[in-house]
Amino acid sequence: MAILLFADHDNASLSEHSARALGAALQIGPEVDILIAGQGACAAADAAAALAGVRRVLLAEADPLAERMAEPTAALIVQLAVDYDTILAPATSSGKNVLPRVAALLDVMQISEVTQIVAPDTFKRPIYAGNAIEVVQSTDALRVLTIRSASFAPAATGDGAAPVVAVDPAAAPALSSFGQNLLSVSDRPDLSSARIVVSGGRALGSKQRFEAVINPLADKLGAAVGASRAAVDAGYAANDHQVGQTGKVVAPDLYIACGISGAIQHLAGMKDSRIIVAINSDGEAPIFQVADYGIVGDIFDIVPQMERAL
Amino acid sequence: MKILVPVKRVVDHNVKIRVKTDGSGVDLANAKMSMNPFDEIAVEQAVRMKEAGEATEVVVVSVGPAQAQEVLRTALAMGADRAILILADGRVEPLSVAKILQRVAQAEGAGMVILGKQAIDDDCNQTGQMLAALLGWSQATFASKIEMEGAHALVTREIDGGLQQIRVTLPAVVTADLRLNEPRYASLPNIMKAKKKPLVQQTPEDLGLPIAPRLTVLRVEEPVARASGIKVGSVAELLDKLKTEAAVI
Ligand SMILES: Cc1cc2nc3c(=O)[nH]c(=O)nc-3n(C[C@H](O)[C@H](O)[C@H](O)COP(=O)(O)OP(=O)(O)OC[C@H]3O[C@@H](n4cnc5c(N)ncnc54)[C@H](O)[C@@H]3O)c2cc1C
Ligand SMILES: Cc1cc2nc3c(=O)[nH]c(=O)nc-3n(C[C@H](O)[C@H](O)[C@H](O)COP(=O)(O)OP(=O)(O)OC[C@H]3O[C@@H](n4cnc5c(N)ncnc54)[C@H](O)[C@@H]3O)c2cc1C
């Protein structure tokens, strides 16, 4: 039977996580419909229809869906569920918020953060901060999955052949209401999909020094900026910059860790990067165990040198 | 308003776990166990809300083996009023945990349930959302701030691009993110006092809930190890390697 992909988007555009989740969905089966739940979301629906391999795009528009609040969005997906045997979403904050609610309403045990499709009912997922990989098989007739997008290549953008079909969301009780989004504005690439990430840790010592040392190198490389939890907790970087088990999971081509010790919770968020560079004054720091290239030295000396030499 | 806080006993976050060589699971024998760190944050939040007069009672509940009493005692020492242990050995999936918590929340007449956003062992990030669905309540996940406004709560959530503020109608389920607060350490007198606070035990069967897992764990594998890297002596050498050997810049 068919697969329903609950897409991640902001009405105006489709996030790359959705294309990556489609890559995973197509490994499960060929009949994939993408659900765009939103308001004024035609642009996102058109972008979804242009992806290679999509059967149909379902466009559900209503005011309560504009910000994809959990209660009405879960009700909508449950309403559509009968036609599908797999429902999945990228494991973004939106997917993680909505899908477990859907799973419980359908009495299904969800499988979170899938990193590999073994068979249509069997999946690999990391547990214990990525220190073990669990191979799980679902016994439910319907499967609900969140997909770790860093583990899958995005589906290609085709030529817009899939039809966009409007669906009517049933009225759901208004249990909560949207207030406002306070989004970080930045000209840098998005952390979770950037090709290069430059991350700073506690060693930076202050917000000013973080910005003076990390940002110029990131800008020279066209990179996104990441941070350890210690750096975020100390206020050197914004919350949404945190990389790790409980922050964002990234897998860029190049990850440069500056003054980060390499705690398992941090490694959980970046150890699948293609190339890892570590700069740390302590030659014994655990970060060097996962680094392809390490420099033992002072970040306040090394990082500006790198920036100048590029 | 009564606040219910589910707390999970998990392997301590400092323990480096090992996969069993026969692939049957993770070797936790003799590993240090603690309260899931996100649940400490949830307990702290509930206790602060009681101290601020926004809550009347804080009840903590754990689903797990008899040893989960220890994490419940820790929560009592932090300021929770009483504890419930639902005895269950072996695997209890989030859906089953959520069904158990649903019965407890209803029996207790809770006005808010505050959970951790994820447990650091299974990293499922599901239980709170599932509980909200089963109860038919509103949900506010990944909370970094909770402000009470009469019959509503204004919750600031950590989302991918920054923060989001939403208003939920009570009763509601909230899941705690890292920045909600910094949990207190229990003082020695409070640890002593906690020993006398009520802790009742029940079984899933008492609640009329058999707990059969829906997922079969076929095996647990070691993650693919990275090939060991090299240390370079200078910035020039590093940039050269990145350009020619790795071809990433
Ligand atoms: C429940 C839980 C969840 C967590 N989630 C995350 C998460 O998602 N992400 C995360 O990152 N962490 C997370 N952590 C925290 C994690 O355990 C570590 O505490 C954190 O990653 C440490 O950050 P750090 O490496 O910046 O700081 P530290 O461990 O203090 O390391 C600083 C490093 O900088 C080096 N240094 C100092 N000065 C210099 C200098 N001048 N030049 C070069 N190097 C220098 C030091 O040698 C040291 O290695 C979590 C912890 C818990 C309990
Ligand atoms: C003794 C024991 C051994 C286990 N061994 C394994 C194993 O080897 N392999 C395996 O796959 N699973 C095992 N499990 C099951 C696993 O713990 C469940 O999947 C888990 O209860 C829910 O997943 P999670 O904690 O990642 O949920 P999440 O959704 O990440 O948890 C979020 C929050 O829900 C609450 N919560 C979750 N679980 C409980 C609970 N039990 N009691 C109270 N509150 C809770 C907490 O507030 C927590 O912060 C075991 C469980 C127990 C009790």
Task: Output the tens digit of pLDDT for each of chain A's 310 residues.
Answer: 899 999 999 999 999 999 999 999 999 999 999 999 999 999 999 999 999 999 999 999 999 999 999 999 999 999 999 999 999 999 999 999 999 999 999 999 999 999 999 999 999 999 988 899 999 999 999 999 999 999 999 999 877 789 999 999 988 878 999 999 999 888 899 998 899 999 999 999 999 999 999 999 999 999 999 999 999 999 999 999 999 998 999 999 999 999 999 999 999 999 999 999 999 999 999 999 999 999 999 999 999 999 999 9
Does the CB atom of residue B62 touch ligand 2 within 6 A?
yes
Number of H helices, E strands in chain B: 6, 15
CB within 8 A of A167, min separation 6: which ones? Answer: A58, A59, A60, A76, A80
CATH superfamily assigned to domain B2-245: HUPs (3.40.50.620)
CATH code assigned to A2-166: 3.40.50.620
Task: Say yes or no: CB of residue A130 within 6 Å of ligand 1.
Answer: no
Q: What pLDDT is stored for residue B133 in this prediction?
A: 97
Task: Please report the pLDDT score of residue A158 as a whole number.
Answer: 76
Residue B6 near ligand 2, beta carbon < 6 Å: yes
Q: Which atom of ligand 2 is nearest to the CA of B115?
A: 47
Q: Sheet containing A196-200: which strands, arranged edge to edge?
A: A224-227, A196-200, A254-258, A275-280, A293-296, B230-231
Residue A140 is encoded by which pair of tokens?
A: 């439910």
pLDDT higher than 90, residue B96: yes
> Ligand 1 pocket: which of A228, A255, A264 to mutate (most atoms <8 Å of CB)?
A228
Q: Which ligand is nearest to the CA of B129?
A: 2
Which residue in chain A has the smallest CA separation from B144?
A: A239
A161/chain B closest Cα distance in angstroms: 30
ipTM of the modeled complex: 0.92
How much is the pLDDT for B169? 97
A183 bridge partner residues: B162
Alpha-carbon distances, residue A128 vs A102, A117, B122, B218 (angstroms): 25, 20, 6, 17
Q: Which two tokens stand for residue A286?
A: 């655990």
Residue type (1 letter), A250:
V
Specify whether the CB–CB gap between B127 and B161 falls below 8 A: no
Query: What is the reported pLDDT for B200?
Result: 98
Looking at the predicted structure, is the pLDDT value of residue B123 above 90?
A: no
Distances (CA, A) of B61 to A163, B35, B80, B81, B190: 49, 12, 10, 11, 19
Contact (CB<8Å) A288/B229: yes
pLDDT over 90 (residue B89): no
From the options 3.90.226.10, 3.30.1490.270, 3.40.50.1220, 3.40.50.720, give the CATH code of A191-309.
Answer: 3.40.50.1220
C-alpha B65: how far from chain center: 16
A148 lines ligand 1 (CB under 6 A): no
In 3D space, the residue among B131, B180, B184 whose CA is nearest the CA of residue A246 turns out to be B180
Q: What is the pLDDT of residue B93?
A: 92
Cis peptide before A90 (omega within 30 of 0): no
Q: Which residues contact B22 (CB under 8 A, 6 or more apart)?
A: none
Element (H, E) at A267: helix A264-267
Q: Where do the structural domains in chain B lie, given as residue ranges?
A: 2-245
Which SS3 state, helix, strand or coil, does residue B63 take? strand
How is residue B242 written in tokens?
A: 């990145």
3-state secondary structure A191-213: HHHCCEEEEECHHHCCHHHHHHH
CB pairs under 8 A between A and B: 254
- Quote the DSSP letter at residue A98: H
Would you call A132 and B26 a contact, using CB atoms and an 8 Å cutoff? yes
Give B170's pLDDT tier (boundaries 50, 70, 90). Answer: very high
Number of residues assigned to chain B: 249
Rg, chain B, Cα only = 21
Of the candidates B89, B95, B66, B88, the one whose C-alpha atom is nearest the C-alpha of residue B213 is B95
User: Rounded distance, CA A219 to CA A202, Å?
Assistant: 21
Give chain B's end-to-end CA distance (angstroms, integer): 57
From the list A258, A290, A295, A259, the residue with the least C-alpha distance to A275 is A290
Residues of chain A with CATH 3.40.50.1220: 191-309
Which chain B residues contact residue A175 at CB under 8 A? 137-138, 168-169, 172
Residue contact B169–A176, C-beta within 8 A: yes
Ligand 1 midpoint to CA A257 (Å)? 10
For residue B27, CA distances in Å to A131, A308, B16, B20, B70 come to 12, 48, 10, 5, 21
> Do strands B138-149 and B230-231 pair parallel, antiparallel, or not at all (unpaired)?
unpaired
Digit-coded pLDDT (tens) for B10-52: 999 989 899 999 999 999 889 999 999 999 999 999 999 999 9
How far is the C-alpha of B2 from the C-alpha of B105, rounded, in Å? Answer: 10
Sole residue written with tokens 């069967």: B205
Sign of CA dihedral B9, B13, B14, B16: positive
pLDDT digits (tens, 9 = 90+) for B211-227: 788 999 999 999 988 88
| A96, A128, A253: residue with CB nearest B248 | A253
In angstroms and rounded to an integer, the radius of gyration of the C-alpha atoms of chain A is: 21
Domain limits, CATH 3.40.50.620, in chain A: 2-166
C-beta of residue B82 within 8 angstroms of C-beta of residue B47:
no
The DSSP bridge partners found for residue A278 are A257, A294
Predicted local confidence at residue B120, as pLDDT: 82
Q: How far is B149 from chain A (nearest CA, A)?
A: 13
Looking at the complex, report in whole angstroms how far the Cα of residue A24 sits from the nearest Cα belonging to chain B. Answer: 19
β-bridge mates for residue B145, sequence order:
B156
What is the best residue among B91, B95, B216 to mutate for testing ligand 2's pocket, by most ligand atoms within 8 Å of CB? Answer: B91
